[in-house]
């Protein structure tokens, strides 16, 4: 997935994100899934395809067989990005077969009160241009974690009255640095601060939570439902991403448990195309906010069907592939 502009994070700058698209086909119907992997994760295009090649795949003719396959899939260790592609593709196919939406599959109601979606601004962007593109969005997500990030945040905040979400991507080196930066941000309209410290700094995050006037959200520190209990001491909320937890089924169960535990929930993405974002958007009604602007950041989205209206993510009736674009990018 090629970015329209260089994507600047605390860990570095990149111009693309490798992806794998998977089609599940049976009974004349097709469903699609996606694994999109930033360079800082362990999985790769090759590891995803190797995982899929090892799967024992047989026809699925009823819901019991579908659920049995998911039990088999999630009994295997690791490979969360690959599992996300497989499970999302199968659910996409199954819901077509049943003539229901993915939202209906999870028993959720379609509501007009959808959560606000963030619009991302990074150091490499032309701020005036990005703010114009984000005119319908009420949340601006500003990437931080680099030298001069506070000045950059203040510059953006001064140019807009909208709420600001800060994503430091582990870039604030320790609690002292983070507290100093947070002090400098006081007075701004900040919705939350995401992953201020490196993942190993559990004790430092406890201190930060005690002293921060802002809501703190765990991203890299949180992956699966097994991590929830350890988050309470350090964060006010979590960022659920389909890629890192193994797909929309896992994300749904995480969201239910997190809500019961009193966490704030952000639903994020890994720069996915409309394919991956459509799966995530199916459960967005469970969230406080969504950060699903991946299709807006890339210039070669090989799927159609995701729309953005008044700062909300609005899936179309179906998300369909642009086959010519997929064929051009196939890795042999």
Cβ neighbours for 86, distance < 8 A, ≥ 6 positions apart: 22, 24, 33, 52, 55, 73, 247
Domains in the chain (CATH in brackets) are 2-101 (3.30.390.10), 116-328 (3.20.20.120)
If one compares 293 and 124, the residue with the highest pLDDT of the two is 293
pTM comes to: 0.94
Work out the number of other CB atoms within 10 angstroms of the CB of residue 77: 6
Per-residue pLDDT, 332:
40
Q: What torsion do the CA atoms of 209, 215, 238, 85 make, to the nearest 10 degrees? A: -140
If one compares 179 and 324, the residue with the highest pLDDT of the two is 179
- Segment 207-228 shows an average pLDDT of 96
The secondary structure of the chain in percent helix, strand, coil, rounded to multiples of 5, reads 40, 25, 35
Report pLDDT digits (tens) over 98-118: 999 999 999 998 766 899 999
Q: Are 85 and 52 in contact (CB under 8 A)?
A: yes
Question: Measured between alpha carbons, how far is 192 from 217 in angstroms, rounded to an integer?
Answer: 7
Confidence of residue 330 (pLDDT cuts 50, 70, 90): low
Question: Measured between alpha carbons, how far is 248 from 85 in angstroms, rounded to an integer?
Answer: 10
Per-residue pLDDT, 124:
80
Residues in the chain: 332
Report pLDDT digits (tens) over 266-317: 999 999 999 999 999 999 999 999 999 999 999 999 999 899 999 999 987 6
Place of tokens 């006037």: 213
Question: Measured between alpha carbons, how far is 74 from 251 in angstroms, rounded to an integer?
Answer: 13
Rounded to the nearest 10 degrees, what angle do helices 248-260 and 80-98 cross at? 100
Place of tokens 């995050």: 205
Does position 24 have pLDDT exceeding 50, yes or no? Answer: yes
Question: Measured between alpha carbons, how far is 127 from 12 in angstroms, rounded to an integer?
Answer: 19
Report pLDDT digits (tens) over 26-58: 999 999 999 999 988 999 999 999 999 999 999
Does position 329 have pLDDT exceeding 80, yes or no? Answer: no
- Segment 179-188 shows an average pLDDT of 96
Question: Measured between alpha carbons, how far is 178 from 168 in angstroms, rounded to an integer?
Answer: 10
């Amino acid at each position: 997935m090629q970015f329209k502009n260089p994507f600047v994070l605390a860990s570095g700058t990149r111009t693309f994100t490798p992806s794998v698209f998977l089609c599940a086909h049976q009974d004349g119907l097709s469903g699609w899934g996606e694994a999109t992997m930033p360079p800082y994760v362990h999985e790769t295009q090759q590891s995803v395809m190797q995982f899929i090649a090892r799967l024992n795949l047989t026809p699925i003719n009823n819901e019991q067989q579908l659920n049995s396959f998911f039990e088999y899939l999630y009994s295997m260790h690791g490979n969360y990005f690959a599992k996300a592609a497989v499970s999302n593709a199968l659910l996409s196919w199954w819901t077509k077969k049943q003539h229901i939406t993915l939202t209906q599959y999870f028993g959720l109601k379609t509501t007009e009160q959808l959560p606000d979606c963030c619009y991302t601004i990074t150091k490499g962007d032309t701020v005036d241009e990005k703010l114009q593109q984000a005119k319908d969005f009420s949340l601006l997500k500003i990437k931080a974690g680099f030298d001069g990030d506070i000045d950059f945040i203040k510059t953006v905040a001064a140019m807009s009255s909208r709420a600001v979400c800060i994503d430091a991507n582990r870039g604030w080196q320790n609690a002292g640095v983070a507290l100093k930066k947070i002090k400098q941000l006081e007075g701004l309209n900040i919705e939350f601060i995401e992953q201020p410290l490196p993942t190993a700094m559990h004790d430092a995050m406890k201190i930060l939570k005690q002293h921060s006037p802002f809501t703190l959200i765990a991203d890299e520190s949180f992956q699966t439902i097994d991590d929830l209990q350890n988050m309470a001491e350090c964060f006010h909320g979590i960022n659920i991403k389909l890629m890192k937890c193994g797909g929309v089924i896992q994300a749904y169960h995480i969201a239910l448990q997190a809500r019961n535990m009193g966490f704030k929930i952000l639903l994020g993405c890994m720069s996915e195309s409309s394919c991956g974002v459509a799966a995530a958007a199916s459960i967005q009604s469970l969230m406080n906010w969504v950060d699903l602007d991946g299709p807006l950041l890339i210039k070669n989205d090989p799927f159609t069907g995701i729309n953005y209206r008044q700062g909300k993510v609005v899936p179309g009736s179906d998300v369909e592939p642009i086959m010519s674009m997929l064929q051009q990018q196939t890795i042999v």
